[in-house]
Amino acid sequence: MTFYISKIFWLVAQPLSLAFFLIVAGLLAGLLKWNRIRTLSSVLAALVLFLTLFTTTGAVLLQTLEDRIPRAALPEGGPACIITLGGGFEADVTTARGGYEMNQAGDRFVETLRLAREFPQARILISGGDGSLSGDFEGDAVIGSRFLAAFGIPETRLIREGGSRDTFENADYTQALLAENGLERCLLVTSAFHMPRSIGLFRKRGLEMLPWPTDFRTTGKASLGLDLTQPSVNSQLMTMAVREWIGLAFYSMAGRTSAFLPE
């Protein structure tokens, strides 16, 4: 139930959707002659759009998360296992057309492939099922395994966790597979902005991961200010940042993570 509630909540809470609903609320308030509510809704919608499209707010919020947890020192002899969290493929396109069509988070699997070839002794656990509401698509565990196999990674090295639909379930379902295969202190590969939330979930379960962030979206040099040159990019960064910060807050309030902002 929590999964579906979070999907519906995010439909409304993401910045552009929020601005749209505020505009609609303002129009309705105007029709009903509720002038103060109309004005407030209009001002809030304009503020949300301005911050989202024409400032570096999203980049700064995302950069804060990306800089939070650096890559861990590799153990002598290399890691025993590599855990890769899903989210790197366009599941609907790949299911329809075949192959392995990557999205912006595809670096998770590119880096996993690099690590897999550098450390041939390491097992590779891919965690990610179909996170859509319909449940009609291949998950990243299936697509990612196919991707790695295409580049010569043996099937015997792969462990698939294909039931999870979100980050909480990634950690929950992966824990059982790690115990079943006798694996510990694995490298955890995910997007840099996603690492604080992910590492906190694993630590809450007593699992000590070696963080290996990848898929950086910011330069590390962003500062708060105006940016009128790339509103579409600013919107993407703000949307990712808001989603991640909301996720951190929710998991913290629900007692699901080791800390609000792990380090």
Which DSSP string corresponds to 48-79?
HHHHHHHBSHHHHHHHHHHTTSPPPPPPTT--
Angle at 237 between CA 6 and CA 63, to 5 degrees: 105
Q: Which residue in this structure is represented by tokens 């296992």? A: 81
Sheet with 210-214: strands ordered across = 158-161, 123-127, 81-85, 187-191, 210-214
To the question of domain 81-214 being in CATH 3.40.50.1100, the answer is no
Measured between its terminal Cα atoms, the distance across the chain in Å is: 30
CA atoms of 119 and 82, how far apart (whole Å): 10
pLDDT tens per residue, range 142-194: 999 999 999 999 999 999 999 999 999 999 999 999 999 999 889 999 999 99
Give the residue ranges of the chain where pLDDT is below 50.
none
Which residue, among 162, 156, 122, 164, has the nearest Cα to 142 in the 3D structure?
162
8 Å CB contact between 214 and 190: yes
Task: Parse the chain into domains and list their residue ranges.
Answer: 2-66+231-253, 81-214
Q: Is 261 left (phi over 0), alpha (psi -120 to 50) or beta?
A: beta
Q: In sequence order, which ranges of the chain are alpha helices (DSSP H)?
A: 2-13, 15-31, 35-54, 57-66, 91-97, 107-118, 140-150, 167-181, 195-204, 231-253
Take residue 34 and report the two structure tokens written for it: 């509720």
